[in-house]
Amino acid sequence: MSKTDDDVILHVDDLKKHFKVDEGWIASLLQSVTGDDPDYVHAVDGVSFDLKRGETLGLAGESGCGKTTTGMSLVKLHEPTDGDIHYNNKRLSEASDEEIKEFRQNAQMIFQDPFESLNPRMTVYDIVAEPLRVHDIRNETARVQRALEFAELMPAEHYFDQYPHELSGGQRQRVAIARALVLDPDFIVADEPVSMLDVSLRAGVLSLLDRMTEEFGLSVVYISHDLSLLRHMCDRLAIMYMGKIVEKGPTDQIIENPQHPYTQALINAVPVPDPDVGRERVELQGEVGDVIDVPTGCRFKDRCPKYIGDVCDQVVPPLEAKSDTGADQDIACHLFESAEGYDPYAELDGGRAENATAANDGSESAPADD
C-alpha cells in the first residue's frame, strides 16, 4: 500500500469525505428511534493521486464536484471519512502530534476569497507573523519582511500596520500568499486563488504564484473550475466529477486529447482561441447528479452522451490506465479497454453480461478521436 517513493511528497489513497446532512434535531431523533441511517453528502468519494516534489497539480471540475473538499482535506481541515493521506511516506492518520505539527508547518493553503481569509481585526504584520508564532520560529520581523517583499508588497514596513480593509483585493491575496510562504512550506493548496480578483489583477498574482512555485521548489495543488488557468499553471490535471476523479494525466494530454466524455464536455465549454482546431462538439445536458443518493455505476451516466448501456448503469468505472486510447492518462470510463485486464462486464450479473461484452466489444470500443 504505502509507497516508498522519495519523490512523492503527498500520496492520497482512496480519500473519502462524507458530510452528514443536518436535518435538525427532530429528524435525528426520529432516525434514532426508527434506526434509519442519516443521509450523507458524498463530497469526496474515493480520490487517489500522488503529488511529486516540485510538481503542480490541478484539480478541475464544476462547483460541487468535491475539489475544494479534497483540497481542504489535503491540509487537514477535514478528517477523512475513509482512506488516508501519506505525507513523506507517513500516514497522517497514524502520525504523532510531533509529526502533525511538522506537517502543519509544511502544508499551507491559499483561500479563494482574500476578503474573508484575513482576520479583519489583525494588521498585515500580525497576519503574516501568526504562523511563525504558532510554530515558535525566530527572526519574526525579518521573515515577515522577506515574505512580504517576495509577494511584491514593498516597502514591507509600509504594510505592517495596515488592516485588510485598507488594502485592495490583489494586495490582500498577496498578503495571504506571504502568510502561506512565511513558514517555508513544502506544498501549498491554492483554492481558486484568483477567481475573486479583478481580471486586471489576476495576471500579477498568477505570475507571483508561478515565481513562488519555482523559487521555493514547491508542490502546489491548484483548485479551479477554470481550465484555461490550470492549463498555464499545472504540470498535471485531475478532472473531478461528483467526488471522483474521472480523468488524470499530464496537462497537455488532457487538454489536447481528452478521452473521458465529461472532460471532453468541459473542455468544449472553454472558448477555443483557435477556431480551426476542430473538435467534436459535446453538449452537456442536465444537472450534476445527486451526491446524497449516489447513483449506481458511473456517476456521469445521466448526462453522458456516450452511454453504453447496462455496464455504465451498474458497474463503477475504476480510474485506470487504458490500453486502447493511445493516450497517457488514466480514465474512469467503460468506453476503453483496461490496460490491467480489468473486465467490468464480469461484474454484471449472469449470462446477460457475457452477451453484452460480446456485443459491445465490436461496436463501441473505438473512442472518439479528435
Partner 1 sequence: MAQEETTGSIFTDIDDGGSGEEINRWQRTARLWRETLSEHWGLLTDELSVKLSMLMVAFFMVVAVIAPYITENPPLQRQYESDAEIIILKWAEPSLLGADSGYLLGTTAEGFDIFSQLVYGTRAALLVGLIAAVFTAGIGTMVGLVAGYYGGKIDDALMRIVDFLYGMPMLPTVIILVALLGPSLWNIIFALIILQWRSTARVIRSQALSLRERPFVKAAEVAGAGDWHIISRHLAPNVLPMSFLYGSFAIAWAILTEAGVSFIGLGDPNTVSWGTMLQASRAYSALQFGAWWWFVPPGICIGLLVISGFLIGRGYEEITNPKLQ
Under the phi-then-psi rule, with left for phi > 0, alpha for psi from -120 to 50, and beta for the rest, what region is 262?
A: alpha
CA atoms 174, 175, 177, 181: torsion sign: positive
Count the neighbouring beta carbons within 10 Å of the beta carbon of residue 316: 18
CA 158-163-164 angle, 5° bins: 110
Which segment (10-18, 215-223, 245-253, 340-348) binds partner 1 by CB under 8 A? Answer: 215-223
Phi, psi of 330 (to 5 degrees): -90, 140
Alpha-carbon distance of 243 to 113, in angstroms, equals 23
Cell of 179: 502568510
Q: How far is CA 341 from the centre of its chain?
A: 28
Of the candidate residues 56, 68, 108, 360, the single one contacting partner 1 (CB under 8 A): 108
323 in contact with partner 1 (CB under 8 A): no
Given partner 1, ligand SF4, none, residue 113, with its beta carbon under 5 to 8 Å by kind, binds partner 1
Residue type, 245: I
26 in contact with partner 1 (CB under 8 A): no
Beta partners for residue 107, in sequence order: 187
143 in contact with partner 1 (CB under 8 A): yes
Of the candidate residues 301, 325, 356, 367, the single one contacting ligand SF4 (CB under 6 A): 301
Q: Which is nearer to ligand SF4, 29 or 269 (CB)?
A: 269
184 in contact with partner 1 (CB under 8 A): yes
State which H helix or E strand residue 357 sits in. Answer: helix 350-363
Coil/strand/helix, residue 264: helix
Cell of 287: 444537472
Which segment (60-68, 211-219, 266-274, 329-337) binds ligand SF4 by CB under 6 A? Answer: 329-337
Cell of 267: 473542455
Number of separate helices (H) and strands (E) present in the chain: 13, 12
Of the candidate residues 66, 80, 131, 193, the single one contacting partner 1 (CB under 8 A): 131
Alpha-carbon distance of 362 to 359, in angstroms, equals 6
Which segment (129-137, 310-318, 342-350, 355-363) binds partner 1 by CB under 8 A? Answer: 129-137
Residues 6+ apart with CB under 8 A from 304: 261, 262, 298, 312
Minimum distance of partner 1 from residue 260's CB (angstroms): 32
Which segment (110-118, 237-245, 251-259, 325-333) binds partner 1 by CB under 8 A? Answer: 110-118
Cell of 281: 462538439
Q: Which is nearer to ligand SF4, 99 or 337 (CB)?
A: 337
Q: How far is CA 129 from the centre of its chain?
A: 28
Residue type, 15: L
Q: Which is nearer to ligand SF4, 157 or 280 (CB)?
A: 280
Of the candidate residues 28, 31, 81, 88, the single one contacting partner 1 (CB under 8 A): 88
Of the candidate residues 49, 150, 222, 262, the single one contacting partner 1 (CB under 8 A): 150
Minimum distance of partner 1 from residue 142's CB (angstroms): 5
Which segment (4-12, 72-80, 203-211, 296-304) binds ligand SF4 by CB under 6 A? Answer: 296-304
334 in contact with ligand SF4 (CB under 6 A): yes
Residue type, 146: R
Q: Which is nearer to partner 1, 146 or 225 (CB)?
A: 146
244 in contact with ligand SF4 (CB under 6 A): no
Which x/- pattern over 298-317 shows residues binding partner 1 (rule: CB under 8 A)? --------------------
195 in contact with partner 1 (CB under 8 A): no
Instruction: Summarize the chain as % helix, strand, coil (round to 5).
Output: 35, 20, 45
Chain residues in the site for ligand SF4 (CB under 6 A): 261, 298, 300-301, 304, 306-308, 312, 317, 333-335
Chain residues in the site for partner 1 (CB under 8 A): 6, 53-54, 72, 75-77, 88-89, 101, 104-105, 107-109, 111-113, 116-123, 125, 130-131, 134-135, 138-143, 146-147, 150, 160-161, 176, 179, 183-184, 215-217
